[in-house]
């Protein structure tokens, strides 16, 4: 599934460090400074605590060994440098061994606002802070183990669980504010504001419903699922998820709430 032809992927040296260019560091700085101001009052406390714990550089792309020292000490996780998109099998294998894949390229200036492939900003800024949280880390580990053992058909349903939690999850305690914990939102200024606004539909988390909900990766999400607190991920991890997957397969998918993607005719 590797597809980074238009990006510059880097190979770490023997110590795990990458020699990024000044232009690449400049892109990181712009992305970081633009988004960090959007997060107070919107990102969940566990994420903001993770940002503080990682103490990542503002003006340079963080080096993975530096992040690993913090992650290993807090939850036993570490990162794994990958060139771009990887197969489902490799993805699950890494999570099952408590390694979070991080692409070694950063988006181009032309795709500053949006790109479909996850880059180093999405992975490090969006996801790594929450890997310092035990509940999030445990859920990610469990998810990797499940996916590694699942069939190709079941992995399609498991992908929806990941999408509506790790990537695009929201949380709201009773009588509390609506907050973000999904890395796909936390790394996107536009979706950060949109997700907490009036346009999308927000539903209480229901595992069976999540597994039956279609999504598109190239639009603002019309539906988000909301948990009450970050520790609820531990409760999900204890559920018989594969039994729910079987039930979801029997019931079938919900009707999409979005328009189908328009296919561009080849010339």
Categorize the per-residue pLDDT at 8 as very low, low, confident or very high, splitting at 50, 70 and 90.
confident
pLDDT score of 264: 56
Output the pLDDT for position 63. Answer: 98
| DSSP H or E segment with residue 25 | helix 22-36
Q: Is 229 a catalytic residue?
A: no
- The mean-pLDDT minimum among 26-35, 114-123, 135-144 falls in 114-123
Q: 244 pLDDT exceeds 90?
A: yes
CA separation for the pair 203, 45 (Å, rounded): 21
pLDDT digits (tens, 9 = 90+) for 32-76: 999 999 999 999 999 999 999 999 999 999 999 999 999 999 999
Annotated catalytic, 127?
Answer: yes
- Beta carbons of 147 and 92 less than 8 angstroms apart: yes
pTM: 0.94
Residue 80: in which H helix or E strand, if any?
strand 78-82
**pLDDT of 111:** 85
| Binding-site annotation, residues for Fe cation | 122, 127, 167
Catalytic residue among 141, 187, 188, 191: 187
Angle between helices 64-74 and 45-54 (to 10 degrees): 120
Other beta carbons less than 10 A from residue 58's beta carbon: 10
Let me know: does 25 contact 61? Beta carbons within 8 Å. yes
User: Do 227 and 233 contact (CB within 8 A), yes or no?
Assistant: yes
Burial class (CB in 10 A: 0-12, 13-18, 19+), 41: exposed
Burial of 19 (0-12, 13-18, 19+ CB in 10 A): exposed
Known active-site residue 110? no
Model confidence at 245: pLDDT above 70: yes
Summarised one tens digit per residue, pLDDT across range 106-121 is: 998 888 887 778 999 9
Structure tokens at 47: 């994420």
């Amino acid at each position: 599934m590797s597809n980074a032809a238009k990006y510059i992927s880097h190979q770490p040296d023997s110590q795990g460090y990458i020699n990024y260019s000044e232009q690449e560091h400049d892109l990181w700085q712009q992305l970081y400074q633009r988004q960090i101001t959007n997060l107070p009052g919107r990102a969940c406390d566990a994420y903001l605590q993770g940002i503080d714990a990682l103490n990542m550089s503002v003006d340079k792309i963080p080096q993975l060994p530096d992040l690993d020292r913090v992650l290993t000490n807090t939850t036993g996780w570490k990162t794994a440098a990958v060139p771009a998109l990887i197969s489902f099998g490799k993805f699950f294998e890494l999570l099952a061994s408590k390694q979070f894949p991080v692409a070694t390229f950063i988006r181009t200036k032309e795709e500053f606002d949006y790109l479909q492939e996850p880059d180093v900003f999405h992975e490090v800024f969006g996801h790594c802070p929450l890997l310092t949280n035990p509940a999030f880390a445990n859920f990610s580990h469990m998810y990797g183990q499940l996916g590694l053992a699942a069939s190709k058909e079941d992995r399609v349903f498991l992908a929806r669980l990941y999408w509506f939690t790790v990537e695009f999850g929201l949380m709201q305690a009773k009588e509390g504010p609506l907050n973000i914990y999904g890395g796909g939102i936390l790394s996107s200024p536009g979706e950060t504001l949109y997700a907490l606004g009036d346009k999308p539909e927000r539903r209480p988390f229901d595992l069976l419903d999540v597994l039956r909900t279609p999504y598109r990766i190239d639009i603002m999400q019309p539906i988000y699922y909301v948990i009450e607190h970050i520790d609820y991920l531990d409760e999900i991890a204890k559920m018989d998820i594969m039994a729910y997957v079987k039930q979801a397969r029997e019931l079938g998918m919900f009707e999409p709430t979005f328009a189908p993607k328009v296919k561009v005719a080849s010339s």
